[in-house]
Amino acid sequence: MPVEWAGSGPELLVTIDRGRGAGLRTQLEDQLRAAIRAGRLATGEPLPSSRELARALSLSRGLVQDCYAQLQAEGYLTSRPGSATRVAATAVPAAGAPPSRPPAPAEMFPVADFRHGVPDLSLVPRQDWAWAVREACRMMPDAAFDYGDPVGPVRLREVLASYAVRVRAASATAADLIVCTGTQQALGLVTGALAAAGIGTVAVEHPGSGRTLGPLAEAAGMTCVPVPVDEAGLDVAALRRTGARAVLVTPAHQWPTGVVLTGARRQELIAWARELDGVVIEDDYDAEFRYDREPVGSLQGLAPDHVVSLGTVSKSLAPALRLGWIIAPGRLREPIAHRKWLADRGSPVVDQFALAVLIESGRYDRHLRRMRAEYAARRDTLVAALSRHAPHLSLTGLAAGFHAVLDLPAGAGEQHLIARAARRGVGLYGVAGSRPQLVLGFGNTSRREIEAGISAIADLLP
CATH of 106-119+366-460, one of 1.20.1250.20, 3.40.50.150, 3.30.70.260, 3.90.1150.10: 3.90.1150.10
Work out the percent of the chain whose per-residue pLDDT is above 70.
92
What kind of architecture, by CATH, is found in domain 24-87? Orthogonal Bundle (1.10)
Cα–Cα distances (Å) from 192 to 106, 222, 225, 369, in that order, read 37, 9, 17, 36
pLDDT score for 192? 96
User: What is the rounded CA–CA span in Å between residue 272 and residue 184?
Assistant: 26
Let me know: does 380 contact 413? Beta carbons within 8 Å. Answer: no
The better pLDDT of the pair 172, 57 is held by 172
pLDDT tens-digit readout, 364-390: 999 999 999 999 999 999 999 999 999
Q: Which helix (H) or strand (E) covers residue 222, if one does?
A: none
Distance of CA 385 to CAs 114, 291, 310, Å? Answer: 14, 19, 34
**Whole-number pLDDT of residue 426:** 96
CATH for the 124-361 domain, from 3.40.630.30, 3.20.20.140, 2.30.30.100, 3.40.640.10: 3.40.640.10
Residue 204 pLDDT more than 60? yes
Would you say residue 5 has pLDDT above 60?
Answer: no
pLDDT over threshold 70, residue 100? no
CA distances to 39, 90, 328, 404 from 94, in Å: 10, 9, 54, 49
pLDDT interval class at 27 (50, 70, 90): confident
Secondary structure of residue 234 in the 3-state scheme = strand
Confirm whether 24-87 and 124-361 share one CATH topology.
Answer: no
- Is 144's pLDDT higher than 60? yes
Q: Output the DSSP codes for 287-319.
A: TT-BSSSSPPPPGGGT-TTTEEEEEESTTTT-G
What pLDDT, in 10s, does the model give residues 60-69? 999 888 988 8
Q: What are phi and psi of 224, to 5 degrees?
A: -110, 125
Q: What angle do CA 29, 34, 35 make, to 5 degrees?
A: 100
Q: What are the structural domain ranges in the chain? A: 24-87, 106-119+366-460, 124-361
Query: What is the band of 20 on the pLDDT scale with cuts at 50, 70, 90?
Result: confident
Provide the pLDDT for residue 392: 94
Q: Report the interhelical angle of 61-73 vs 24-38 (nearest 10°).
A: 50
Distance CA 298, CA 324 (A): 16
| Contact (CB, 8 A) for 158 and 260 | no
